[in-house]
Amino acid sequence: MSQSNLTKQMSGSKILESNVEAEFEDLKVEEVQDDSDDDGDNKYQYKVIIVGDGTVGKTSTIRRFTEDEFQQSYVRTVGVDWFIKNVSIVAEIPAQQAAHTESSEEGSQKKTKKIEVCFQIWDVEGQSLGSKLLSSYIYGSDAVILTYDITNLESFKNLEEWLKYVKHIFSDSYEGRKSSEKSKDPVICIFANKCDLSHERKVKRETHDEWAGYHKLSSFFVSAKTGDMVNLSFIKLAAMLVGVQLPQGQLEGATKVIVAPIINYTAEDKSETESEPKGKVVKSRTCCIS
């Protein structure tokens, strides 16, 4: 890419980011005005960025969460795209806070409170690791989702480079940091995508757990195609950002019911199975049965 094109792209991205931030601020004002009479609701807004190699399903995961849709054909993300999603969670109130509630509310049930979380999710193309465009979007985010494909070992190995890059951006040595700004480390977690293809898994669960444990990162196994665990993972991420615990009922309600496809074998397939001779020798790698 030429220097002039790069300059145009960077200036265009700044304009896009400023427009999005302006719209996001308008959304914040509208939410506060609409619910100003409800003092019990707590509202939070977080910027989340999802990174990882290309074709691991970053865009598909976001679209499943925000629109409950899945696109069968692969369309590469060029530059950056963004999504808005509001979620409501019910969190348990710590015992110290519950002690200050009204004395008339006595009973053995745990106290809860409703929390509104607005996600501003940024989707960056997977081929942009190390670019200035990527760093400008990662910097200042509240959460970073490292995503890989369980059927692609290389995408998992590259998480090490993605994690190093994210940590560098939030370090004191990052050249894009203003001297007056104080860094706040984001919540970093892992999304292991395409769990519907577990029969083609190339990354062992033990390898995943060992790497996540070494770096002390929370991880979620999801499927953008079926929607399995996608909503629940984002709800747990919201709770991590707010710093609250979710009751069991909230977790169960966020779990998506997956409908398994039913295969109807044709009469021809059935006849071929029944026509096999009983005395046929079946060979395998371990034994021979006659």
CATH of the domain at 251: 3.40.50.300
Contact 87, 44 (CB under 8 A): no
pLDDT value at residue 27: 40
User: What integer pLDDT is reported at residue 245 of this predicted model?
Assistant: 87
Q: What pLDDT score was predicted for residue 254?
A: 56
* Number of structural domains in the chain: 1
The answer as to whether 272 is a domain residue is no
Q: What is the pLDDT of residue 250?
A: 64
For residue 14, give every residue at least 6 positions away whose Cβ sits within 8 Å of its Cβ, in sequence order, or none.
136
Residues 6+ apart with CB under 8 A from 189: 143, 144, 145, 146, 217, 218, 219, 220, 237, 240
Q: In angstroms, what CA-CA distances link 189 with 70, 144, 228, 235, 272?
A: 22, 7, 17, 13, 50
% of the chain at pLDDT higher than 90 = 42
pLDDT computed for residue 165 by the predictor? 92
Taking the C-alpha atoms of residue 114 and residue 289, their distance in angstroms, rounded to an integer, is 63
Pairing of strands 80-92, 112-124: antiparallel
Q: At what angle do helices 58-67 and 230-242 cross, to 10 degrees?
A: 90
139 located within any domain: yes
Please check whether residue 130 lies inside any domain of the structure: yes
Q: Convert the pLDDT of each residue in 136-171 to its tens digit.
A: 888 889 999 999 999 999 999 999 999 999 999 888
Residue 71 lies in a domain: yes
pTM assigned to the model: 0.69
The pLDDT score that the predictor gives to residue 223 is 96
Q: Which residues contact 132 (CB under 8 A, 6 or more apart)?
A: 10
Q: Which domain holds residue 95?
A: 3-264
pLDDT number for residue 25: 45
- Say what the pLDDT of residue 264 is: 53
Query: Are 240 and 187 within 8 A, CB to CB?
Result: yes
The per-residue pLDDT for range 41-81, each reduced to its tens digit, is: 589 999 999 999 988 999 999 999 999 988 766 666 666 78
- Does residue 141 lie within any of the structural domains? yes
Q: What is the DSSP letter of 49?
A: E
Asked if residue 275 is part of any domain, the answer here is: no
Starting at the edge strand that comes first in sequence, how are the strands of the sheet with 112-124 ordered?
80-92, 112-124, 42-51, 143-149, 187-193, 218-221
Q: Which residues of the chain have pLDDT under 50?
A: 1-18, 20-40, 102-108, 257-260, 262-263, 265, 270, 273-274, 276-290
For residue 290, tell me if it sits in a domain: no
Residue 270 forms part of a structural domain? no
